[in-house]
């Protein structure tokens, strides 16, 4: 299973996008670096930073882009 997270940057900024479990532990770092303005898509394949498949459940995707921060819940089903 995989999910695609789409986002738009109006200006170039440092971007970090991570996936967290319900306990608040980071599961996967998807993006970490500066990006130019534009439309982007990040894909999470249901694996953690070590490449292991994570269990079904609710996860939180957190996007930080400059001073902007937003989190969204996602549900991973196998």
Instruction: Give me the residue spans of the domains in the chain.
Output: 3-76
Q: Residue 33: what are its φ and ψ, rounded to 5°?
A: 165, 175
pTM (2 d.p.): 0.92
Q: What is the mean pLDDT of the chain?
A: 96
pLDDT at 10 (0 to 100): 95
pLDDT at 44 (0 to 100): 97
Q: Residue 50: what are its φ and ψ, rounded to 5°?
A: -90, 0
Distance separating alpha carbons of residues 5 and 54, to the nearest angstrom: 18
State the architecture of 3-76 in CATH terms: Sandwich (2.60)
Q: Which helix (H) or strand (E) holds 56?
A: none
Please, which pLDDT band fits residue 78 given cuts at 50, 70 and 90? confident
Please, which pLDDT band fits residue 40 given cuts at 50, 70 and 90? very high
Please, which pLDDT band fits residue 32 given cuts at 50, 70 and 90? very high
């Amino acid at each position: 299973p995989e999910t695609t997270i789409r986002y738009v940057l109006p200006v170039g900024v440092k971007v970090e996008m991570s996936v967290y479990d319900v306990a608040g532990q980071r599961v996967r770092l998807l993006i970490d670096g500066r990006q130019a303005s534009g439309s982007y898509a990040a894909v999470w394949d249901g694996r953690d930073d070590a490449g292991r498949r994570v269990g079904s459940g609710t996860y939180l995707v957190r996007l930080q882009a400059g001073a902007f921060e937003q989190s969204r819940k996602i549900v991973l089903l196998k």
